[in-house]
Amino acid sequence: MDMFDKNIGKEKLASLELAEASREKEWNYPSFVRELFHGRLPWNLIYPFPEQPEADKEIGTEYLEKLEGFLRAHLDPDEVDKSGEIPYEVIKGLADLGAFAMKIPQEYDGLGLSQLNYNRAIHLIASYCGSTAVLLSAHQSIGVPTPLSLFGTEEQKKKYLPRFRKGAISGFALTEPDAGSDPRTMKTSATPTEDGKYYIINGEKLWITNGNIADILIVMAQTPAKIEKGKEKKQITAFIVETNTPGFQAAYRSSFMGLHGVKLGLLKFNNVRVPRENILLGEGQGLKLAFLTLNTGRLTVPAAVAGMSKLCLMIVRKWSKERRQWGLPIGEHELVASKLAAMSANTFAMDAVTWLTSHMADAKKLDIRLEAAMAKLFCTETSWKVIDDTFQIRGGRGFETSPSLKGRGEAGYPVERMFRDSRVNLIIEGTSQIMRLFIAREALDLHLKRIISIMDTKVPILKRIKDALSVGIYYLFWFLRLWLPSFALRDIAHLPIPIKKHMLFVQQTTKRLAMTMFLKMLIHQQRLESRQNILARFVDIGTDLFVMSCACSYGLSFSKKELNSQAGSAIELADLFCSQAKVRIARTFEDIRRNQDKAARRVAQNFLAGGYVWLENEIIK
């Protein structure tokens, strides 16, 4: 689309309005990250690091043992990668183990695993076979089991949930050829029949994980628009669709750079008739359902990528000692050693974030929408770096496939396969860019709520003046409080060095971040929405502060555990992670102050207008 198209403003506004209408507006529970963005450090929300109850841990450990035994005996990940198939016997065996009903409550024949045990299971499987992990996690993190358990009626739950214990497979169908990150452009429609008992679904869905083999899908479709205050409001509704319904067709299987065993592509809906009682959560509530499902659904991706990163650690640990070049094991050359150190510290931080957010999901005492989004953003980007560094440390062998390595008698480390399998994690369940925008919107929420009526020219002037006065008083106290020593200091004071030093930094920096965000909001006002680089910098600083806090809390938890020999090294890892995060944070604050955003915008506009086509010379087009 021409970027100077005058409709672009209207279209963008409509997309933002739809997203805004579907977002969860209330904050019924405290949120650690939301507080951080407002200059407070609620350390007591994440410290002491929660411990998994012994009984729950045993259930998980026993289940993980069964899974590992089964996978080792029956599944060859290289064969899955080569053939593009997870064998039927493996799917059947996993179903017998209840792997398609891990998260389903026991009253509906599920295993009723806690989020923590479920994430432990996916973490384990992902370290072995990416395709199998994605098959299972897309099925039950975002596929039918989660939204149905959360929002289904009793009849819906009784009808569908027990089927997953027998191995029924599901998926979550939102994306379409023209609707990716922006669901407003969705075209699939669901039209009610005259008697109102059915809906007729027509349209296409693209890249729905498991879509080509699913028995049941959650399908998002547009139901007739509603008129509210004279304005047409788009309605997106979630339907439970059985794929044996006439008119449903898995029309095409896509092939991808990785995750070869997962089956997805183009799905077609041609007059697919679905009973009204298959609507989930209510008409027009589809996007809300998607957001709410993803709040916990997103937690599985961090668990999976942390599992893959740990396998990378094992590979580089062995290889860096074994491989000698220039008279030394390569791990002793400083440029490799620094990678090994960062990979260890980053993997420790991923572990901290993954297990803390899993605990939070089980405890149900906190609002975790921001924490889950940050966990997804941080872990996918960080694990990609870990896998890339593993590739580099393996040298040419990083590029060679596992079967080829084995074929000439070497250890078949699957770095090349993991590299291909993992890249898409930065795209699925919200791209990194969309995660940053989502987090920024929620981070600014408290301020926006306060100042929105002052900026709204439709509000009577007297009311705006009154509101401005009360908001002014609020912010006067807010600013004062930011500068006063906070109660959080009391909580941190007794922590051991170096954790105390890092948490003091977090405490100070949350104030600096909150202040900077507020000032930028005053300067840019509504324009801040399109200054995405500024928003992303806030989010990157906030994410590092969150992960530093998780890593410190997690590090301290080791000294209490029996694994005392690990305690010192856990603190050392937390220390290195925090020290490196501090450098990133300082750099990002500097970027907020002085950056090349304006010049980059000019170049990008020129680029899109064709100003640099000459640069594409002497290539085969």
Ligand X SMILES: Cc1cc2nc3c(=O)[nH]c(=O)nc-3n(C[C@H](O)[C@H](O)[C@H](O)COP(=O)(O)OP(=O)(O)OC[C@H]3O[C@@H](n4cnc5c(N)ncnc54)[C@H](O)[C@@H]3O)c2cc1C
HEC readout, 440-503: HHHHCHHHHHHHHHHHCCCCCHHHHHHHHHHHHHHHHHHHHHHHCCCCHHHHHCCCCCCHHHHH
Contact track, ligand X, 458-487, x by CB under 6 A? ------------------------------
The least distance separating ligand X from the CB of residue 291, rounded to whole angstroms, comes to: 13
Residue among 241 and 551 whose Cβ is closer to ligand X: 241
The least distance separating ligand X from the CB of residue 88, rounded to whole angstroms, comes to: 22
- Please report whether residue 140 would count as binding ligand X according to CB under 6 A: no
Q: Which of residues 263-322 bind ligand X (CB under 6 A)?
A: 264
Contact status, residue 347 vs residue 315, Cβ threshold 8 Å: no
The least distance separating ligand X from the CB of residue 441, rounded to whole angstroms, comes to: 11
The 3-state DSSP class for residue 280 equals strand
* 328, 331, 335, 339 alpha-carbon torsion, rounded to 10°: 180
Residue among 533 and 559 whose Cβ is closer to ligand X: 533
Contact track, ligand X, 79-118, x by CB under 6 A? ----------------------------------------
Using the rule CB under 6 A, which residue among 181, 245, 392, 453 binds ligand X? 181
- Please report whether residue 202 would count as binding ligand X according to CB under 6 A: no
CA 124 vs. chain centroid, Å, equals 18
The least distance separating ligand X from the CB of residue 451, rounded to whole angstroms, comes to: 23
Question: What are the φ and ψ backbone dihedral angles of 418, each rounded to 5 degrees?
Answer: -65, -40
Q: Give the H/E segment covering residue 218.
A: strand 216-228
Question: What are the φ and ψ backbone dihedral angles of 561, each rounded to 5 degrees?
Answer: -85, 170
Using the rule CB under 6 A, which residue among 39, 110, 152, 171 binds ligand X? 171
Q: Give the H/E segment covering residue 240.
A: strand 231-242
Q: Give the H/E segment covering residue 267.
A: strand 265-275
Whole-angstrom distance, CA of residue 517 vs CA of residue 37? 8
Pairing of strands 328-329, 324-325: antiparallel
Using the rule CB under 6 A, which residue among 119, 137, 140, 175 binds ligand X? 175
- Please report whether residue 434 would count as binding ligand X according to CB under 6 A: yes
Stretch that binds ligand X, among 43-51, 271-279, 293-301, 428-436 (CB under 6 A): 428-436
- Pick the catalytic residue: 176, 371, 400, 429? 429
Using the rule CB under 6 A, which residue among 46, 136, 174, 336 binds ligand X? 174
The 3-state DSSP class for residue 239 equals strand
Whole-angstrom distance, CA of residue 45 vs CA of residue 28? 15
Using the rule CB under 6 A, which residue among 47, 100, 160, 207 binds ligand X? 207
Residue among 208 and 492 whose Cβ is closer to ligand X: 208
Stretch that binds ligand X, among 89-97, 413-421, 427-435, 575-583 (CB under 6 A): 427-435
Using the rule CB under 6 A, which residue among 87, 112, 180, 403 binds ligand X? 180
Using the rule CB under 6 A, which residue among 191, 431, 580, 595 binds ligand X? 431
Residue among 434 and 468 whose Cβ is closer to ligand X: 434
Q: Which of residues 8-67 bind ligand X (CB under 6 A)?
A: none
The least distance separating ligand X from the CB of residue 170, rounded to whole angstroms, comes to: 10
Using the rule CB under 6 A, which residue among 202, 392, 404, 433 binds ligand X? 433
Q: Which residue has the tokens 């997690």?
A: 554
The least distance separating ligand X from the CB of residue 412, rounded to whole angstroms, comes to: 24
Q: Which residue has the tokens 């980007």?
A: 381
Contact status, residue 196 vs residue 246, Cβ threshold 8 Å: no
Residue among 375 and 535 whose Cβ is closer to ligand X: 535
The least distance separating ligand X from the CB of residue 535, rounded to whole angstroms, comes to: 10
- Please report whether residue 138 would count as binding ligand X according to CB under 6 A: yes
Tallying the residues shown for the chain, one arrives at 621
The least distance separating ligand X from the CB of residue 357, rounded to whole angstroms, comes to: 21
Whole-angstrom distance, CA of residue 519 vs CA of residue 527? 13
- Please report whether residue 533 would count as binding ligand X according to CB under 6 A: no
Residue among 198 and 207 whose Cβ is closer to ligand X: 207
Q: Bridge-partner residues for 204, per DSSP?
A: 268
Residue among 208 and 377 whose Cβ is closer to ligand X: 208
Q: Bridge-partner residues for 176, per DSSP?
A: 179
Contact status, residue 86 vs residue 334, Cβ threshold 8 Å: no
- Please report whether residue 424 would count as binding ligand X according to CB under 6 A: yes
- Please report whether residue 384 would count as binding ligand X according to CB under 6 A: no
Q: Which residue has the tokens 């803390």?
A: 356
End-to-end CA distance of the chain: 21
Tell me the residue number closest to ligand X, measured at CB: 180
How many residues line the site for ligand X (CB under 6 A)? 22
- Please report whether residue 329 would count as binding ligand X according to CB under 6 A: no
Residue among 80 and 556 whose Cβ is closer to ligand X: 80
Residue among 22 and 509 whose Cβ is closer to ligand X: 22
The 3-state DSSP class for residue 52 equals coil
Active site residue 429: yes
- Please report whether residue 172 would count as binding ligand X according to CB under 6 A: yes
* One-character DSSP codes across 8-49: HHHHHHHHHHHHHHHS-----S--HHHHHHTT---GGGT-SP
Using the rule CB under 6 A, which residue among 427, 468, 489, 521 binds ligand X? 427
Whole-angstrom distance, CA of residue 521 vs CA of residue 241? 44
Burial class from Cβ neighbours inside 10 Å (0-12, 13-18, 19+) for residue 118 reads: buried
Using the rule CB under 6 A, which residue among 209, 212, 278, 309 binds ligand X? 209
Contact track, ligand X, 253-272, x by CB under 6 A? ---x--x----x--------
Whole-angstrom distance, CA of residue 596 vs CA of residue 575? 32
| Amino acid letter, 377 | L
Q: Give the H/E segment covering residue 335.
A: helix 334-363
The CA-CA-CA angle for residues 193, 196, 201, to 5°, reads 45
The least distance separating ligand X from the CB of residue 438, rounded to whole angstroms, comes to: 10
Whole-angstrom distance, CA of residue 601 vs CA of residue 530? 11
Enumerate the active-site residues.
429
Binding footprint of ligand X on the chain (CB under 6 A): 138, 171-175, 180-181, 207-209, 256, 259, 264, 424, 427-428, 431, 433-434, 437, 532
